[in-house]
Structure 1
Amino acid sequence: MADHAAARTTRSMTVPLVAFVAGAVVAVLLGVLGRVHDPTLSGTTDLGFRTVIEMKVVLATVIGALVVLQLLSALWLYGHLGRRPPSWLGTAHRVSGGLALLLTVFVGYSCLWALGLEVGTLPHGEPVPLRAVVHGVLGCAVFGAVVVKIVAVRARRAPGWFLPVAGGLLFTLLLVVVLTSAAWYVAARGWPGPAGY
């Protein structure tokens, strides 16, 4: 009986371990791409904003709001907010999560393609600000956490702690990335104005 329980525990731990390794590989590969790629605005869009940066600030703010909604709806769905959740909340949680993921991929692509991953010193010898390093490294880690979260949502034989840990990791990384980008930009320069002004 004890051998069967140990085998089941080992098998169930395989899923999170493989997911975390796959996520780490994705994060490292994106970091390498960001370092070796020559940043260019060619192949990006500003969606009608004055600059790609301003477009990313607005979309990152939307992502931040969606991430907070994800946390609140997950807490409600799992019974941590006291009242019984409405029947539509599960669908709203999945739709807002899908939209947050889509926007994150779009903004992440724009970051890596237009800016790359800056660490160390800039081409003219000035050191890269710590905020930019943290933002870039954790931005790559977000996509590793996305891989982990997708596996956690789909895994049937994973331990019960895996989904909340995967969701919490993704939530935390996205929140820090938004704070080191959009929140920093708005605090330093104000909210982006409409194009043409």
Structure 2
Amino acid sequence: MAEIAARTGPPTKSMAVPLAGFTAGAVVALLVGVFGKIHEPTTSGTTTLGYGTVIEMKVVVSTAIGVLAVVQVIGALGIYGKLGIRAPSWLGTAHRTTGIIALGLSVFVSYHCLWTLGLESGKFHDGTPVPARVVVHGVLGCAVIGAIATKVVAVRSRRAPGWFLPVAGGLLFTLLMAAVLTSAVWYIGAKGWPTPGG
């Protein structure tokens, strides 16, 4: 009987899960970066969602992603009991739903970034130097996709140590906000809020 209980008890925590998660994230980020470097940028197969350019559309959607990321952090703090109030019963469902939406929008924006712009460094095709902000943003974008892979491993694993999910989530949030700051927030500060059809 004890042997059956041992086999059906809680899963054993393993450091192999975070190691695999971080390794998978690093490999995904690297592959995305390589693709961004070798892919010839094109607007074919993209959408502007009614905005004047793909970049304007990305600014609007990236801002929404930033808001959803903040909502995710607040939801996680509530679920972990760090807000000093009892979490309502619907919070877990709302947290998962906003997370799925943020994930879907992040992949959508990343696709448009890589497909229409690629991963720029050195000089543009016309010979002008690529600004440091653009290089940093491109690297951050690749890292975000890698961090998404790591977070998915953390969420799906029952054998991961308790610290893995909050660390993976914190890493994703930090990289995502840095990517939004170096793109959407910079754009809004420099050129204002995009308008549809503008």
Given the two structures, how large is their TM-score scaled by the length of structure 1? 0.93
Query: How is 1:120-135 mapped onto 2 (pairs within 5 angstroms)?
Result: 120-135=122-137
Which stretches in structure 2 are left out of the alignment for 5+ residues?
A: 1-11
| Residue 161 of structure 1: aligned partner | 163
Amino acid at match of 1:137: V
| Residue 95 of structure 1: aligned partner | 97
Q: How far apart in 1 are the matches of 2:39 and 2:183?
A: 21
Calculate the aligned-residue CA RMSD, in Å: 1.2
| Structure 1 residue 170: Cα displacement | 0.3
Q: How far apart in 2 are the matches of 1:17 and 1:119?
A: 30
Query: How is 1:1-197 mapped onto 2 (pairs within 5 angstroms)?
Result: 12-195=14-197, 197=198
Moved over 6 A (4+): none
Q: Percent identity?
A: 67
Q: How far apart in 1 are the matches of 2:14 and 2:196?
A: 51
Q: How far apart in 2 are the matches of 1:86 and 1:160?
A: 22
Amino acid at match of 1:120: G
Amino acid at match of 1:162: F
Q: Is the 8 A contact 2:25 2:145 kept in 1?
A: yes
Which stretches in structure 1 are left out of the alignment for 5+ residues?
A: 1-9
Q: How far apart in 2 are the matches of 1:52 and 1:127?
A: 22
Q: How far apart in 2 are the matches of 1:52 and 1:61?
A: 14
| Residue 4 of structure 1: aligned partner | none
Aligned to 2:129, the other structure's residue is in SS state coil
Given the two structures, how large is their TM-score scaled by the length of structure 2? 0.92
Q: How many pairs align?
A: 187
Aligned to 2:51, the other structure's residue is in SS state coil
Q: Is the 8 A contact 2:13 2:161 kept in 1?
A: no
